[in-house]
Amino acid sequence: MDLYIDILITFLKIGLVGFGGGYAIIPIIESEAALHGWLDVKQLTNIIAIAAMAPGPIAANCATIIGFKLSSLEGAVVACIGITLPSLFIILFLGKLFLKFQQHALVKAIFYGLRATIIGTIVYAAIKFAVSNGIIGGANGIDVKSVLVLLVSFVLLIKTKINPIYLIILAGMVGIFIF
């Protein structure tokens, strides 16, 4: 029972401050999962890989898999409810209010700092994931093959409109040959 409450509260918290959607929520999930000792970054990376290949929101998918890993179906249900409920309440209670005040100076000022900070957290997550997966800073300094895959996919992602799923599938096939 305690575990369920812990899962619920943790994902409620993540849902509540998960501004920016998708990959912007990953840093918060990583930090909370580490705080609870639920999984290491490498496991989380695998989970994100599955979450990104499936349809639906990446953050909610991650939450569901983490809940499933912690406590099978019940854990998955609790985690999914936890990350979704804040969206429901915030939109029902603050939705209309936000539309009315989205051009207000204070709201703009809040998002001015908030967005910049969120970007900071995503950069941190990218560095942390690269290090924890042994891509950079490992025993050999950098893992050449992984860094190559990383750089090529980064360029493809920002320069082309490639669907991330094809990129993941492609990288999986490349992985079977080179690792």
Partner 1 sequence: MKGVERNKSKVALLLALFWSFFKLSPVSFGGGFAMIPVLENEIVIKKRWIDSKQIVDIFALAQSAPGAIATNSAIFIGYQIAGVTGALAAMFGMVIPTFVIILALATVFVSFQHNPHVIAALSGIRPVIVALIASAAYKMAKTALVDMSCWIICIVSTLVLMFCPSVNIIVVILSGALIGVVIVRCKEKIDMYSQGKLAKQNSRK
Applying the rule CB under 8 A, the residues between 11 and 50 that interact with partner 1 are 13, 15-28, 31-32, 35, 42, 45-46, 48-50
Asked if residue 10 binds partner 1 (CB under 8 A), the reply is no
How far is the C-alpha of 125 from the C-alpha of 74, rounded, in Å? 28
The answer to whether the beta carbons of residues 44 and 33 sit under 8 Å apart is yes
Shorter beta-carbon distance to partner 1: residue 3 or 16: 16
Backbone dihedral angles phi then psi of residue 137, each to the nearest 5 degrees: 75, 15
Shorter beta-carbon distance to partner 1: residue 105 or 139: 105
Q: Which helix (H) or strand (E) holds 169?
A: helix 164-178
How far is the C-alpha of 58 from the C-alpha of 66, rounded, in Å? 12
Residues within window 145-164 making contact with partner 1, judged by CB under 8 A = 146-147, 149-151, 153-154, 157-158, 163-164
Size of the site for partner 1 (CB under 8 A): 104
Question: Of 9, 40, 101, 119, which one interacts with partner 1 (CB under 8 A)?
Answer: 119
State CA 64 to chain mean position distance.
12
How far is the C-alpha of 75 from the C-alpha of 4, rounded, in Å? 7
Shorter beta-carbon distance to partner 1: residue 5 or 112: 112
Residues within window 65-104 making contact with partner 1, judged by CB under 8 A = 65, 68-69, 73, 76, 80, 83-84, 86-88, 90-92, 94-95, 98-99, 102
Q: What is the DSSP letter of 168?
A: H
Question: Of 33, 64, 78, 82, which one interacts with partner 1 (CB under 8 A)?
Answer: 64
The answer to whether the beta carbons of residues 150 and 126 sit under 8 Å apart is no
